A and B are shown apart, each in its own frame.
Chain A
Amino acid sequence: MTSDLKTRPQPNPTLFAKALFALRGRKLLTHVFLILFGLVMLYPLLWMVSSAVKPEGLIFREQGLIPSSVTWDNFADGWNALRHPFSHYYVNSAVITAGAVVGNLVACSLAAYAFARIEFPLKRLWFALMLGSIMLPLHVVIVPQYILFSELNWINTYLPLIVPKFLATDAFFIFLMVQFIRTLPRDLDEAARIDGAGHWRIYSRIIMPLSMPALATTAIFTFIWTWNDFLSQLIFLTDPDMHTVPVALRTFLDSSGESSWGPMFAMSALSLAPIFGFFLAGQKYLVRGIATTGLK
Chain B
Amino acid sequence: MTDTQVRAPRDVPHPAPGPLPEAVAHKKARRRRRRKEALTGYLFLAPWFVGLIAVTAGPLLASLYLSFTDYSLLGDYEWVGFANYAEMFTDDPRFLKALTNTAIYVFVSVPLQLAFALALALVLDRGIQGLPIYRSVYYLPSLLGSSVAIAVLWRKVFGADGLFNSFLDLFGIEGRSWIGDPSTALGTLIVLNVWTFGSPMVIFLAGLRQIPASYYEAASIDGAGWVRRFRSITLPLLTPIIFFNLVLQLINAFQSFTQAFVVSGGNGQPADSTLFYTMYVYIKGFNSFEMGYASAMAWFLVVIVGSLTALNFIMSRYWVFYGDK
Contact = CB atoms under 8 A, between A and B. Distances in A.
B45 A167 contact: no
Interface in B264-292: 265-266, 278, 281-282, 285-286, 291
A148 interface: yes
Nearest to B255: A137
A186 interface: no
Given A34-B134, A118-B37, A291-B206, A140 B301 contact: yes
A126 interface: yes
Contacts of B139: 286-287
A88 interface: no
B38 A120 contact: yes
Nearest to A133: B56
Given A119-B38, A230-B261, A41 B195 contact: yes
* B interface: dominant SS: helix
Contacts of A115: 45
Interface in A105-147: 106-107, 110-111, 113-115, 118-121, 123, 126, 129-130, 133, 135-147
Contacts of A267: 149
Contact of B149 (A42, A60, A129, A272): A272
A286 B202 CA distance: 10
A254 B265 contact: yes
Interface stretch (B46-54, B85-93, B316-324): B46-54
A98 interface: no
5 contacts: A47-B163, A141-B55, A174-B48, A235-B282, A272-B149
Given A106-B47, A144-B59, 7 more contacts: A30-B126, A107-B51, A121-B38, A139-B282, A144-B63, A276-B140, A279-B136
Interface of B: 34, 37-38, 40-42, 44-45, 47-48, 50-52, 54-60, 62-63, 66, 73, 120, 123-124, 126, 128-130, 132, 134-144, 146-150, 152-157, 161-163, 166, 195-196, 199, 202-203, 205-206, 244-245, 248, 251-252, 254-255, 257-258, 261-262, 265-266, 278, 281-282, 285-286, 291, 294-295, 298-299, 301-302, 305-306, 309
